[in-house]
Amino acid sequence: MSWDQAVIGTLIALALIGLGGCLLLPSKLPSKLLLLLSPTFRVLYAGHLLLLGFMLAYAQFYLENPAQSLADLSDAANNRGEKTVFTPEDLAFAARWGAFWLAFMLFFISFLCLALWDVLSKAKKCFEVKNHPFGIPTK
C-alpha cells in the first residue's frame, strides 16, 4: 500500500468517525440540521458512520498490508509464468479479507437505504401538508 492510499484512507476513516461522533452530540449541530434529522434517524446515522469509520480504520491498519503482500506474491508468480501456491493460512486470510469487505459493503448499502428511506418519508410528509413549503397549491 502506498503512502497516498494510507493517508487518504486514514482521512476518510477519521472523517466518518468525526461525523458520526458529531451526530451523537446534538448541541454541536446547527439548528437547521437538527430540524431535518429526527432523533431516531440521527442515532442510526451516527451508528452506521461510526461503524463504517472504525471498519475502514481496521482494514487500513491490519488487513491491507498482508493482502497487498499476497497480491504481490501472486503477481510475481504470474510474471514468472508459474502458478501461485498459497498456504492454508494465506487462503484463510483471503477468505477473512473478502468477508470483511463484503460486510463493509453491506453496512454501507444499509446506510444508503436508511438515507433513502429518510428522504422518501420526508418527501411524503412534505406533500401531505396543506401549505406546501415551496408555495405549490395542494388539495
Check pLDDT > 80 for residue 1. no
Q: Is 46 in contact with 24 (CB distance < 8 Å)?
A: yes
In a domain, 43, yes or no: yes
Report percent pLDDT > 90 for the chain: 37
**What pLDDT shows up at residue 5?**
84
Q: How far apart are CA 30 and CA 123, in angstroms?
A: 21
In a domain, 134, yes or no: no
Q: Is 53 in contact with 79 (CB distance < 8 Å)?
A: no
**Main-chain phi, psi angles of 31, to 5 degrees:** -65, -30
- Enumerate residues 6+ apart whose C-beta is below 8 A from 73: 84
In a domain, 91, yes or no: yes
Name the 3-class secondary structure at 66.
helix
In a domain, 117, yes or no: yes
- Enumerate residues 6+ apart whose C-beta is below 8 A from 65: 1
Q: How many domains does the chain have?
A: 1
**What pLDDT shows up at residue 73?**
87
pLDDT band at 108 (very low <50, low <70, confident <90, very high): very high
Name the 3-class secondary structure at 86.
coil
Question: Residue 49, Cβ neighbours under 10 Å: how many?
Answer: 21
**What pLDDT shows up at residue 102?**
97
In a domain, 20, yes or no: yes
Query: Each residue of 38-86: pLDDT tens digit?
Result: 778 888 999 999 999 999 999 998 988 889 888 888 888 888 888 888 8
DSSP state of 37: S
Check pLDDT > 80 for residue 94. yes
- Parent domain of 20: 3-128
In a domain, 139, yes or no: no
In a domain, 62, yes or no: yes
* Closest C-alpha to 16, from 44, 45, 50: 50
In a domain, 50, yes or no: yes
